[in-house]
């Protein structure tokens, strides 16, 4: 019986951690007016017939607060990388000098910052919905154990409080992460 309870809580924690990690990863690619190499994480370049992430074929560095430099190792692929960045629709037009590609991050307008903050809040809310779904799943499994008389009413109440405690901890972390990202975006 203890093993089943342990497994329910392990699954709950795994689901909560995955939701939180997903939120962190989503926030990494949000552009906040400063050069951020993670904005290129989802950009794939057709490299000898294989879709390849830029980081596997170039060195990406931040040369100034708002400038990313991309040094492609195979110079014959420079145009392909530039084309892939343009097609990725990240909101920045790449420029190349024949050796490196530069991405100059424009200063964000107040309106654009507010749009980004809305997106940050939306991602946070989606994360909390996922966490609430994980809570529901855990409580459903515990209810089944109670229904089968494997655990008592008192044990169920104790486990229910433990589940809620875990959820509250992760929701607080999620909110703090969203507040941090919002502050970063709104900082001029």
96-153 confidence digits (pLDDT tens): 888 899 988 888 788 888 988 999 999 999 999 999 999 999 999 999 999 998 889 9
Report pLDDT for 31. 67
DSSP annotation of 68: E
pLDDT band at 65 (very low <50, low <70, confident <90, very high): confident
Q: Quote the percentage of the chain above a pLDDT of 90.
A: 51
- Answer whether residue 86 shows pLDDT above 70: yes
C-alpha 111/C-alpha 109 separation (Å) is 5
Report pLDDT for 188. 62
Q: Does domain 2-29+109-186 have CATH number 1.10.132.20?
A: yes
Domain 37-104 -> CATH class = alpha beta
Which regions of the chain carry the CATH code 3.30.1360.40? Answer: 37-104
C-alpha 15/C-alpha 92 separation (Å) is 35
Which regions of the chain carry the CATH code 1.10.132.20? Answer: 2-29+109-186
Report pLDDT for 11. 95
pLDDT band at 92 (very low <50, low <70, confident <90, very high): confident
Give the global pTM. Answer: 0.76
Copy the structure tokens of residue 175.
């909110």
pLDDT band at 93 (very low <50, low <70, confident <90, very high): confident
pLDDT band at 66 (very low <50, low <70, confident <90, very high): confident
**Residue of higher predicted confidence among 16 and 92:** 16
Report pLDDT for 34. 73
C-alpha 47/C-alpha 62 separation (Å) is 24
Average of per-residue pLDDT values in the chain: 90
Report pLDDT for 127. 97
User: Exposed, middle or buried by CB within 10 Å (0-12, 13-18, 19+), for 176?
Assistant: exposed
End-to-end CA distance of the chain: 55
């Amino acid at each position: 019986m203890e093993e089943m309870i342990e497994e329910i809580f392990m699954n709950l924690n795994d689901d909560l951690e995955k939701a939180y990690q997903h939120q962190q990863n989503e926030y990494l690619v949000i552009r906040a007016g400063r050069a951020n190499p993670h904005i290129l994480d989802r950009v794939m370049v057709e490299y000898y017939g294989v879709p390849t992430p830029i980081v596997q074929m170039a060195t990406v560095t931040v040369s100034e607060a708002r400038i990313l430099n991309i040094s492609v190792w195979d110079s014959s692929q420079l145009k392909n990388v530039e084309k892939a960045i343009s097609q990725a629709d990240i909101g920045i037009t790449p420029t190349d000098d024949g050796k490196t590609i530069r991405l100059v991050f424009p200063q964000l307008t107040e309106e654009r910052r507010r749009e980004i903050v809305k997106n940050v809040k939306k991602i946070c809310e989606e994360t909390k919905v996922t966490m609430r779904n994980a809570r529901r799943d855990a409580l459903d499994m515990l209810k089944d154990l109670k229904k089968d008389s494997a655990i008592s009413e008192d044990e169920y109440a104790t486990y229910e409080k433990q589940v809620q405690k875990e959820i509250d901890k992760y929701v607080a972390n999620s909110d703090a992460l969203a507040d941090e990202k919002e502050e970063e975006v709104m900082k001029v």
